[in-house]
Every structure is written in structure tokens, then in C-alpha cells.
Amino acid sequence: MWLSSLLFLLIIQATCSFMLPRMFSGRPLTGFDQRFHKFDEFNKNDTIDDQYFEQILDHFDSTNNSVTFKQRFWNYMELSKPNSPQFLMMGQEMPGSVFSLTTPSMWAQKFNAGIWALEHRFYGKSQPFKEQTVESLKYLSSRQYLADVANFIRTQNQNLTNPKWVVFGGSYSGSLALWFRQLYPELAVGAVGSSGPIQPLLDFYEFNQVVENSIRHRDPKCAKNTKKAFKLLEKYMEYEEGRDELNAVFA
């Protein structure tokens, strides 16, 4: 009987979900309105190629600085002038692309800024190793990437006149931007971090509350049925037979 009730509620939930906008990872499947990201001069008239920077593998081992890898980056300097600010988009937990330049570009025309994007190590074509192993993953960390950015900026400064860097990011890269400004204030005059998680929480129940409020705003009945389904799932998880039934349903 419990199983029948569970399946019934899940069917109701599935039906309700069709009423919600089609989303993936918080983004519309059809993409955001591109009008907010259009940069006509950059998008239509210019070809921006991949470039590579000789990056240090381990910034925190002074005996190992000779080991390097190729880190991919992009830049657009057509708007930049002497003493212009430089806008850098931090890498994300995904392969980078030339379109990483579009977020800073919204302000680049106003400030005559140079635009840069540095791919995150271990993503895209910025691979320190040909094969990933458990041992190699010790070099995959936010601190190593922040040091990547610091090394990158110091190197680029050698060819710039009075550079003033502002770092940009959203979500994880938003955290990186804010952390970079905190750890390397001598290298960045500002940081723009959108939706960047700064304080880690073990029990981040507030996120579920946001989801619940969104569902309730769209359809109160759907929110009510979802809540019932979760309560039923919790009951099943309390005893072995119930867990076996859940495994049979969802396996």
C-alpha cells in the first residue's frame, strides 16, 4: 500500500513538473536572452584565437617550480589604451571558451578595458597531465588556480602600462573572484562576484527552501504533493523492507 501511494504521488509530481519552465542547472534550456550579452564589435568583426600560457604546476612547492603546463587563455585588446583597466574572467568548473569574454565586455566599452579569460586548470585544454590519476588531483584546487591567476597577471603586467585589474566571476568563479581580491589585493583593484558561495555550510537547508518557494509560486498544489512525496520517502528509509522497495522502484 505504501508503495502504491508513493508511485501515485510521484506520478502527480511528474505531472506538475511539466508546468514548470524547462530548466537545466538553473538555466533555461533555450539559453538566456542574448541581448544582455551582445557585444557587436567583439562578436561580429573580430577573430579571437586560443592562446597558451606556461603555467607553474605547483605554486606552493618552491623546489618544483620548473614543472609547468600549458594553460589556455583568451584576450581582446582592441578597446584598451595606456592606463586602461584590465578585466579578467575567472575560470569555471567547465571547459572555457572565447565566450568567457562576454561578461566583462558589457563594461569594457565604457571603460576602454582590455578583456581576458583564463581557463581553470584540469578543464578544457588546460590539462597538466595526459591522464588523470588520484595522485594528480592534489594539484586541482581553488588555491592553485588563484595562484595561477596571480602568476598570469604578474606576467602580463610586464607588457602593460600602469595596469589595474578587475576580476569577474559567477557561482564558483564568483567565489574565486572575491577570494582573489582578498588574497592578492596588490594585483586586483576590484572584484565582481555574482552568486559566489563564500561561507561553506554543512546543512544548507536554505537552498531547498528557495526551490520550495519557486515551486509553490508556480503551483501550490504541486508544492504540496512534492512535500507529501518526500515525507513518504523518509518513512520508507526508516526500515530495511522500505529501503528494499525503494531500490526496486528506482534501481
The pLDDT tens digits for 204-223 are: 888 888 888 999 998 999 98
Q: Long-range contacts made by residues 107-111, C-beta under 8 angstroms, separation at least 24?
A: 108/39, 108/76, 108/79, 109/39, 109/41, 109/79, 111/84, 111/85, 111/87
More confident residue, 35 or 202: 202
Average pLDDT, the chain: 85
**Residues 182 and 132 reside in one and the same domain:** yes
The answer to whether residue 138 is domain-embedded is: yes
12 vs 196, which has greater pLDDT?
196
pLDDT of residue 18: 47
Determine the structural domain holding residue 227 and report its residue range. Answer: 2-26+208-250
Burial tier of 105 (Cβ tally within 10 Å: 0-12, 13-18, 19+):
buried
Q: Is 155:163 a contact under the CB 8 Å cutoff?
A: no
Q: Are residues 141 and 218 in the same domain?
A: no
17 falls within a domain: yes
d(CA 117, CA 138): 24
Element (H, E) at 45: helix 40-45
- What is the rounded distance in angstroms from the CA atom of residue 102 to the CA atom of residue 43? 9
Whether residue 170 sits in one domain with residue 213:
no
Say yes or no: 170 and 136 in one domain: yes
Residue 246 placed within a domain: yes
pLDDT at residue 109 tops 90: no
Q: 231 exposed, middle or buried (CB, 10 Å; 0-12, 13-18, 19+)?
A: exposed
Packing angle of the helix pair 172-183, 142-157 (nearest 10 deg): 60
CA distance 167 to 174: 9
Least confident of 33-47, 79-93, 112-126, 157-171: 33-47
Pairing of strands 85-89, 68-76: unpaired
**Closest Cα to residue 168, out of 113, 207, 126, 116?**
116
Q: Are residues 58 and 115 in the same domain?
A: yes
Reduced to 3 states (helix: H, G, I; strand: E, B; else coil), residue 51 is strand
Q: Are residues 21 and 123 in the same domain?
A: no
Number of structural domains in the chain: 2
Residue 235 makes CB contacts below 8 A (sequence gap 6+) with 2, 242
Query: 164 and 40: one domain?
Result: yes
If asked whether residues 142 and 186 sit together in one domain, one would say yes
Write down the pTM of the prediction: 0.70
- Shared domain for 190 and 154, answered yes or no, is yes
| 6 and 79 inside one domain | no
- DSSP secondary structure of 110-163: HHT-EEEEEPPTTSTT--SSSS--TTGGGG-SHHHHHHHHHHHHHHHHTTSSS-
203 domain-assigned: no
CATH of the domain at 119: 3.40.50.1820
Are 90 and 189 members of one domain? yes
